[in-house]
């Protein structure tokens, strides 16, 4: 008999190799045997995210966070879905901001979360707040081209 860990490890390997559907199948088998820990939900979320099954990915990331509230990447990935989905008319940008703030609380040098937070604040019209996060990012990574470009746009177009 194969145990939950073997199914999980196989599923993670498949997801890392881009075989998302196969990975989900193995993670589902793992969850049938043991469903009280965060890792399988997170990786199933990653696979669903890659397959653009956004609702399923959101549920998986949320379940992972219910089981482990310190899972930085689950907060970030959940926020990314909110910020990038084109099929939702009024995405909950404020929820994305909360998730990104939590990710940064857990990892204060999470550059991708800083950039996403700046972009979220720009969408909300909080241009000075966006600028603050970009400045924090540029202190850590002075050559961050996207951050420099967004900062330039904010200063030229939105902050006079």
Q: Residues 32-90: pLDDT tens digits?
A: 999 999 999 999 999 999 999 999 999 999 999 999 999 999 999 999 999 998 888 88
Q: What is the pLDDT of residues 93-145, one digit of tens each?
A: 999 999 999 999 999 999 999 999 999 999 999 999 999 999 999 999 999 99
Q: Which CATH class is domain 1-69?
A: mainly alpha
- Domain covering 97-160: architecture: Alpha Horseshoe (1.25)
CATH 1.25.40.10 domain extents, the chain: 1-69, 97-160
How far is the C-alpha of 83 from the C-alpha of 60, rounded, in Å?
17
Instruction: Kindly state the tokens that stand for 69.
Output: 């509230």
Give the containing element (helix H, strand E) for 105.
helix 93-106
SS3 state of residue 3: coil
- Global pTM value: 0.93
């Amino acid at each position: 008999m194969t145990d939950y860990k073997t199914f999980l490890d196989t599923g993670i390997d498949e997801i890392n190799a881009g075989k998302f559907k196969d990975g989900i199948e193995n993670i589902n088998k793992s969850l049938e045997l043991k469903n009280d820990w965060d890792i399988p939900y997170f990786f199933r979320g990653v696979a669903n995210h890659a397959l653009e099954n956004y609702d399923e990915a959101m549920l998986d990331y949320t379940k992972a966070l219910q089981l482990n509230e310190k899972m930085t990447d689950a907060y970030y990935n959940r926020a990314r879905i909110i910020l990038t989905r084109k099929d939702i008319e009024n995405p909950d940008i404020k929820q994305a901001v909360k998730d990104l703030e939590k990710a940064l609380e857990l990892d204060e040098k999470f550059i991708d979360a800083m950039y996403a937070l700046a972009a979220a604040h720009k969408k909300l019209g909080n241009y000075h707040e966006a600028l603050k996060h970009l400045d924090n990012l540029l202190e850590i990574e002075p050559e961050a081209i996207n951050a420099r470009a967004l900062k330039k746009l904010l200063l030229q177009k939105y902050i006079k």
